[in-house]
Amino acid sequence: MSSSGPKPGSSGLLSARRDAMVLAVLITAVLLLIWNGSAFFNHLRIEGSAFASDVRVASTALTLNVALILFGWRRYIDLQHEAEVRAEQEKRAALLATTDPATGLYNRKGFADRAAQLCQEAGGRSDNLVVISFQVHRFKAVNDQHGYEAGEWLLRSIADALRDELGDGAVIARLSGDEFAVALALGEAGTQGAEELADQVLRLVSRPVLLNDRIIQVGAFAGIASAPAADARIPDVLRRADIAMDRARSGRVARPVWFDAGMERALIAHGEIEQGIRYGLDHEQFVSYFEPQVDLASGEIVGFEVLARWKHPLSGVIGPDVFIPVAEEIGLIGRLSEQVISEALREAAQWDPALKISVNISPSQLTDGWLAERIVRILSETGFPAERLVVEITESSLFADMDLARSIVTSLKNQGVRLALDDFGTGFSSLAHIRSLPFDIIKIDRSFVTNVSEKRESAAIVRAVTTLAAALSVPVCVEGIENEDTFKAVVRLGCAIGQGWYFGKPIPAEQTRELLAARHRRRDERPPAAAVHG
């Protein structure tokens, strides 16, 4: 890799000043020597009688002049050495400013500088600048399992492989811990050449390597962006490649991903949502909506599931699919969930004490060892009875840490809280979960319910779950009942509780109070089937 750091221009100026000073000293010494010699001989001619005394004077002057010349020369040598040291230090500082010390590749600044030079060289040929940004996958696991020395060795191995394979025409950089970038100018090869190069990079990074009789193998995610070399701004092209790489990483895409403008718009929208969530939490814009849960045999409402909604001042009511993933990503899902649950329980504490209130716990919350204590604190603050609360835990969230999940579930059960296994059937060890954890309700995932009246396979799965639950004395709740055919099918299959738009869409607290009041007035006047459909 060739370095292109800043020119040490200050050392050239220092050298010129140094040479001028030394030359002045030498010229002065020589002039003094000539002047003193001339004075001596003139004096000798005029005053011959004082010859001996003048010889002593001349000798002293000559000695002083010679000493001055030697001093000037020594100073010249010292200044020359100082200039060389200074120049070497400037060169080293420039190298450190543009080079990653661990791998010898360019760092972010060096990449920008050298890629800009590459653009100047390629602009006249009308080439495109292509930037490939890639991140080593599971690099942290290498550090954790084998130590940081092994991680640094792996980085150097990757750097050497990239240098050997890509050659001098590529600008290669390590941007941060496990993130790298490659820039090169491509002409006729264009898009296909860039993709082939990115595939080559991924193969190099993913190849197994041997360290101390151990095979280490990692993966990588890559993004590609390009721009005409004559007009390219390196920070912009690199940022776009990073955005494409993030898309590959979030989607677990093993092939290189090209940047497109939609990714940037999505990123901007993501940032706006993130800022909106932070503002909304501070100003209590997240509210609870209630979806009714109905006893399929009697048609009576037996409870509600609490769903979060965002009352945005400009966009109106926003559904959870927009903000929940972002809240989980930025670590605010716990705070958001607690805010919504607190509001819901404070409201529902005034309702019929026979009604159960179900709340969802996200997978990230289930990794919080203090989750049970937080829920108990909310119950205490809102005055809501623990036996009326149902905490829904998705089956997939149990895999992260089964021991911690068991501890949280047990703590909640000891406080009298009921537990529901949500999205049953979508995990990998459902029977083991039912047997090892004390769930009170099983909720069948809507994917098995939506077409249960049309597909025999779905009906068979629902029947098997209800039969198993009945043997364990655990009621089954089915989600996603959207029409009468589905309603009749799940009733015929033996399900106990249902919810879905067939019974009513999620509504805010005020409308829920009105619904409960109206149903209470009509409860003895309408038959169960008609009440259910209403």
pLDDT band at 318 (very low <50, low <70, confident <90, very high): very high
Q: Kindly state whether residue 280 falls inside one of the protein's structural domains.
A: no
- In the chain, % of residues over pLDDT 70: 80
pLDDT at site 395: 76
Query: What is the average pLDDT across 47-54?
Result: 52
Residues 496 and 358 in one domain: yes
pLDDT band at 192 (very low <50, low <70, confident <90, very high): confident
DSSP 415: T
pLDDT at site 211: 85
Residues 56 and 144 in one domain: no
pLDDT band at 487 (very low <50, low <70, confident <90, very high): very high
3-state secondary structure of 454: coil
CATH number at residue 230: 3.30.70.270
Cα distance between residue 261 and residue 379, in whole Å: 47
Query: What is the average pLDDT across 353-378?
Result: 94
In this structure, the chain runs to a length of 534
Look at the alpha carbons of 369, 373, 379, 381 in this order and tell me if their dihedral is positive or negative: negative
From the number of C-beta atoms within 10 Å of its C-beta (0-12, 13-18, 19+), residue 440 rates as middle
List the structure tokens of 1.
């890799």
pLDDT surpasses 50 at 530: no
**Catalytic residue chosen out of the listed positions 90, 479, 482, 514:** 479
Residues 406 and 480 in one domain: yes
pLDDT surpasses 50 at 356: yes
Phi, psi at residue 220, to the nearest 5°? -160, 155
pLDDT at site 79: 74
List the structure tokens of 440.
């009170």
Give the ranges where 293-332 is alpha helix by DSSP (H): 320-329
Cα distance between residue 161 and residue 33, in whole Å: 66
Residues 372 and 479 in one domain: yes
Q: Kindly state whether residue 424 falls inside one of the protein's structural domains.
A: yes
Residues 374 and 402 in one domain: yes
The per-residue pLDDT for range 321-352, each reduced to its tens digit, is 999 999 999 999 999 999 999 999 999 999 99
Q: Kindly state whether residue 39 falls inside one of the protein's structural domains.
A: yes
pLDDT at site 21: 60
How do 128-137 and 179-186 pair as beta strands? antiparallel
With residue 290 as reference, give the H or E element that holds it.
Answer: strand 286-295
DSSP 496: -
Cα distance between residue 387 and residue 403, in whole Å: 24
Instruction: Compare 431 and 388 and report the one with higher pLDDT.
Output: 388
Query: What is the average pLDDT across 206-219?
Result: 88
The per-residue pLDDT for range 94-105, each reduced to its tens digit, is 667 889 999 999
CATH number at residue 381: 3.20.20.450
What is the average pLDDT value for the chain, to the nearest integer? 84
Contact 170, 185 (CB under 8 A): no
Residues 18 and 124 in one domain: no
Residues 47 and 144 in one domain: no
pLDDT surpasses 60 at 36: no
Q: How many domains does the chain have?
A: 3
Residue 271 CB neighbours (<10 A): 11
Query: What is the average pLDDT across 274-302?
Result: 95
Name every residue whose Cβ is closer than 8 Å to that of residue 385 and which is 6 or more positions away in sequence. Answer: 349, 353, 379, 416
Q: Which of 98, 129, 164 is where one domain is finished?
A: 98
* 479 counts as catalytic: yes
Residue 25 domain boundaries: 9-98
pLDDT band at 187 (very low <50, low <70, confident <90, very high): confident
pLDDT surpasses 80 at 31: no
Residues 369 and 482 in one domain: yes
Ranked by mean pLDDT, which of 90-94, 221-225, 396-400 comes out on top? Answer: 221-225
Residues 434 and 518 in one domain: yes
Which of 84-93, 457-466, 482-491 bottoms out in mean pLDDT, i.e. has the lowest?
84-93
Residues 115 and 84 in one domain: no
Residues 340 and 254 in one domain: no
pTM over 0.85: no
List the structure tokens of 231.
């007009």
pLDDT band at 160 (very low <50, low <70, confident <90, very high): very high
pLDDT at site 397: 80
Which of 187-201, 459-473, 501-515 bottoms out in mean pLDDT, i.e. has the lowest?
187-201
Residues 338 and 480 in one domain: yes
